[in-house]
Structure formats: C-alpha cells, structure tokens
Amino acid sequence: MDSPSPNGSNARIASNASILKIIFEHAAYTPINESPEDNIRPRRPYLGQVCKAWDAIIINTPLYWVSIVVYIDSNPTHTEDRLAESPLKTYLFRSSPHPVTIYLLRKVKVPHTLDLKEKSAIHSILTALAPHSHRISGLYIEANTSSSLPSVSDLLSADSGFFFKNLKCLMATSNCDDSHILPLPLPLPLSLPPLSVISLTYLNMDGRNLFLSLNPPCHLLQHLSQLESLCINHLTPRVDGFSMALVDKLFDAITNTLVKLRTLGFDEFEVPPNATSLPPPDSLLPCSVRRLVIRKTASPSMQYIFQRVTHSDELGLIGCFFSEPKVLLPKSARLVLERTVDFDLLPDIILEWTAQRWSSIRAKLWTLIFSPSCSMQ
C-alpha cells in the first residue's frame, strides 16, 4: 500500500487550518442587532489552549480578537503603564486592522462594598484606548455607580481626544444612581463635525447623561439623526438634574429628531406621582416605534410612557410592577411579559391586550371589506 505523498498531507493540513480559521472567526463573531446589550458576555476561554496547532491558527486569525473584554475591577491599580503590558494590548495588536468592540465590565457585577477605584479604572482604560479609537465600532461600559461613568457628550465631542469615526454602538450604564451625591460637571460644547455622532446607531446611557445631553451647551440628541436604538437607564426624580420639562424634551426629540428610531427602551423609569396623570403638552405629538421595551417600572410611570408612545409593533415589559390591573397598553402586535412580580394581575393585563388586539384586527377587516376602493365594480 502506497504511503500518502507529502504534498497530499500538506494540502490536507492547509485545508483543515482554513476550516478551523473560519470556525474560530464565527465563534468570535458578535452580531449587532436591535439590542446589542443582550450580546454582552464575560471573556471567553482561550481556545488556543487546546493544542499548539490551534494556538498557531488563532494567533493569525485577526477576527478572533475583535471582541475585547476588560474587567474594570480585576486590577486594583489600572494605570496606563500596566495596561500597556496587559492583554488589552495583545488583543488590539492581533485584531488589527479590523474594527473592534470594547466591553468594560465588572467581574463582580454588584460589589459588597463601594468600589472607590472604579471611576479611575474606567478613565485609565479609556485613555489607553484613545489612540485606537478610530477602530472602535462598539463601546460598552457597565459600572456599579453612575458617578463612575464618563460624560457621554464629552466622550463624543470632537475635542475629546477620541476619533470615533466608526462608532456604531455606545453604552454607559450602571447598577445604581448616585448622581445627587457626585454630580457630573457641565459638559463641554459639542464641537462639530462630531463624526462619532453622525455614525452612531445605538445609544444606551444613564439618566444623568441624558439630562446633560438635552441641556445647552451640548444638545447631543439634535445630532443623532442616524440613531436606530435609544435606551435610558435610571430615569427617575432621584437623578441629578431631573425635571419634567427635560423628560418632555426627550419625547419631543424622539418624535421630531430621531426619525430613524426603531427601538426605545427604559430601564427603571419613574415620574413623580402628580405627573403620571398629566396629558402630554399640546405641542408634543404622539409617536410610534417598532419596539418598545420597559424594565423595572411601575404601572403609573408606564402609563406616562404609553400616553406618548401610542403604537409599537412589539411591546416588552420585563420585571415591571403592575400596581393597577387596568393599564391602557399602546397598540402593539406582540406583547412580551418577563419576570413579572404581580402574577395575579397577569390575566387581566393579557385580557386587556387581547381585547385591544382583536378590536384592531376587526377594524382593519371592516375597512378592507367595506372600503369603496375594494368594492366590486
């Protein structure tokens, strides 16, 4: 029996390496969908530890390294010198020249004690990333306290030292809001042309950053004409700078400025009790979005949103509190209920949505059957 030729063996090895390279690229791929925050995962185990052959292939597979996770609580002294020798440098080098997605996360999501070094750690990591900012397509920051987060308006400004020409997704959220204790300084004027703002399609920020972005001199939302998804974290009266005028200004921007907006999300939304029953101002037109997602919000504050967002193709209510069974839901073709605490009220809520849905379907059928344009000649 003839032994296989060396050329044949080399061809098979090369073929197997090409297949593995494709597999590794797909394993590292993170899609950008309507909820990029759902794709946030801890750092993956390094597959190159399996064997030397896999390690050699992965090292020469740039797309494997484009998703970069940095734990802001993993090193008690995040400094630029330490970061220069950290895995962050390795990932940035091996992923070149492709766009990268950066995740600044916590290993321990909710610490037992206040993390006093969190803010400086985030600042040091962002400073180390500045020379590579032109390659960043996604930047996700999850902190424990809102005071640790950077100013989104300053970060996107052309004078910030960052050149986010490819930035599509930006998230800056926290577990809890401490803005009344440690308020942010007023943002710098938003310098134009802000290339990062022009390219941004997904923005998820905390309430304090939202209020700063709505106020002069920045007016960030006026420049987000390409935005497709907007999510707000911690929008409550306890946030520094809260005012009902700014909340109405947000909905006005959603209606008149964010013309491409498809997904609108609120994570812990609350308005004062005396504001929940107030109708929208005459100048504020009702709006519709393809997807409306509300998390950890009580029914009176939900009703405030529903008076302003009157239609959505999909309505998601996640971990919400239904203190009142009679919630006038907006018109929506699909209702998603997750982690609802008030189980005894669920039947009434579903019944209300079902009745509304069937009423809408009957109205459409009635129009279709009896419309003059559809009548027989």
Q: What is the pLDDT of residues 286-297, one digit of tens each?
A: 788 899 999 999
Token duo for residue 237: 């009266």
Pairwise CA distance, residues 39 & 31, whole Å: 8
The residue to which tokens 């100048």 are assigned: 283
Cβ-contact 68, 90 below 8 angstroms: no
Q: What are the Cα distances from residue 274, in Å, to 103, 271, 277, 278, 281?
A: 39, 8, 7, 8, 15
The residue to which tokens 């302003």 are assigned: 308
Question: Where are the chain's structural domains?
Answer: 20-204
Nearest CA to 283 out of 319, 263, 255 is that of 255
Q: What are the Cα distances from residue 148, in Å, to 48, 173, 191?
A: 35, 10, 24
pLDDT of residue 120 exceeding 70: yes
The backbone region for 331, taken as left when phi is positive above 0, alpha when psi lies in -120 to 50, beta otherwise, is beta
How many CA atoms within 13 Å lie on the side-chain side of 258? 27
The tens digit of pLDDT for each residue in 186-231 reads 555 555 445 556 688 999 999 999 988 887 766 788 888 889 999 9
The tens digit of pLDDT for each residue in 17-65 reads 777 777 676 666 555 555 555 555 556 666 666 677 777 777 777 888 8
Token duo for residue 332: 């929506």
Q: Which residue has the higher pLDDT, 1 or 46?
A: 46
Nearest CA to 170 out of 133, 198, 205 is that of 205
